[in-house]
Each structure stands twice: as C-alpha cells, then as structure tokens.
Amino acid sequence: MSERKVLNKYFPPDFDPAAIPRRKQAKDAQHKVRLMTPYAMRCETCGEYIYKGKKFNARKETVEGETYLSIKIFRFYIKCPRCSAEITFKTDPRNTDYIAEHGASRNFEPWREERIAGEESKLQKELEEENNPMKALENRTIDSKREMDILDALDEIRTRNARNERVDSDALLDKLLESDQNTEKSEKEKEEEEDEKLARSIFTTVDGDRVKRVIDEEPELAQLLSESAKSFVIPKFKNTSSAGDNKGKEGNKRKNTGSEIGIIIKKKKIENNNSLGSLMENYGSSEDSE
C-alpha cells in the first residue's frame, strides 16, 4: 500500500542540482513569523504593559553589519495591542538574551541586573590580574581561603547530621514533655507566690501586724445568758389533773424544752430587766397554790 504523503522524491541519474537557478532575494528582506515576547515590556507611546509570552504576528529581518562570532543577529517588529505603535527588539547571542531597541522599554528585572553586575566585576578582575601579578596572587589566596571555609562548614553540617541521626526520637519527645510540665509547674508556683504576696499586702498593717478575720458563727446559749440567769433553776411541772389537758401539754412542753424557756428569759431580760423578777413571783405563787 502506498503512502498518502510521500517524503522521498525520485531523482533521475542525470539530475544536476547546479543547473537549478537560484532565487534572488534582497538582503534586507523581511519574513512573517509567529513569536512570543521574550521579556515583559511597556509601550512608550500609550504605556500599555505587555507581559512575557504574549503571542504576536511579527516581521523578522537580518541585521546588516552586526554579527557575534559569525552568528547572525535578527531584528523583530511587532505592534502594540492597544495603540498599534511599532516595537522592535533584536537578538543578543553574546548574553543569550534580547535587547529592546525601539518603541518599548524593558521592565526592571533584579536578577538580570545582578547577573550583569557579576559579569562586569569578573571582567574587571581579570583585567587587573593581567596587569598586576601581585593582585592575581592576592585573589588566589582569598579564593583558597573561601574554599577552605566552605569545606569546614560542610564538615560541620555532616557531623551535626550524623549526631542527629543517632538521637532517639522517643527520648527526645519525653524530654520535651518533661520540660513542658516543669514550665507549667513553675508558672503555677509563680502564680501562687503572687497570690500570697497580694494577700500579705492586704491583711498586714503598716506596723507589721496581721489582720485576723472574724468568723461569723452563732454564739452558744450559755454565752448569751447572764450569771443570774445561769444560776436560776428551771422548775419541773407535774400533770396531776386529767381534765386539764391543755395545762398538761403545756407542762410537758416546758419539761421537754427547757432550753426554750431560757431563750425566752434572755429575750425578756434584754427587753426589760424587771421581767425576770415577775416571772419568779409567778412561779412561786403557782407552787403555793398546789
């Protein structure tokens, strides 16, 4: 089966390529190409920013009279997408880059400036070494010292990594946990000390005496009674009549809750000092009647 697109052509035995007439073309002829912008730029006419990688239909031509080590330099023409102003840039085989030529300015690139500055300093250093051998010796000494410092730093990093590999992770975690617990404990102790200092400052007078807190407790009944009330004997009542149930109940109540009488006596004494004497007279008259 024959191929749809034949790549190999048939050349007869008597074919002579020198007999083919060459096409004449001008040296400054331009070709239409499709390209992407090699760097970010800004149009000088309208101020439009053109980012790196934007596609354009461009025209390409060979720059006459400019070569670098027999390498041709090409120029490209594009149009601004906003104002259609013409922008040109050309190749730079020396620095493997492109040079902005007309119509747009290249955006600032710090890494590019650093690289250019480094290359310039390197060229200047080489020129100084060619003219001054002592300067070349000094530069070599500085370079060797720098290499030794780098090697020492690498050895230190290797030893530290080897030491870290031998460390037990579980033991390290336990140690970190213990340190956290110690810090928490120390913080609690500090807080307790601060609270204690604050309490001392509040409950201590200027003379250094401690202020005691009064406990709010109910006093006992014996403390409330006076000496005369304590010496008073509470009489015992007997329930002799069955008809007087009310009197018997009152007597039993007085017999069982003698402390209540004492409380009543104290209250009455506080209200009126003569109430105790009248109560004793009433008790005496009741005994005489029995």
φ and ψ at 257, to 5 degrees? -115, 65
The phi and psi torsions of 57 (rounded to 5 degrees) equal -90, 115
Q: Is position 149 annotated in a ligand binding site?
A: no
Amino acid found at 115: R
User: Is 46 annotated among the ligand-binding residues?
Assistant: yes
- Of 234, 238, 233, give the one whose Cα is nearest residue 252: 238
Residue 154 annotated in ligand binding: no
Radius of gyration of the chain measured on its C-alpha atoms: 58
As a residue count, the chain comes to: 290
Residue 236's closest CA among 289, 287, 288?
287
52 is in an annotated binding site: no
Specify whether the CB–CB gap between 80 and 63 falls below 8 A. Answer: no
Q: DSSP class of residue 76?
A: E
Residues annotated within a binding site:
43, 46, 80, 83
Residues annotated within a binding site for Zn(2+):
43, 46, 80, 83
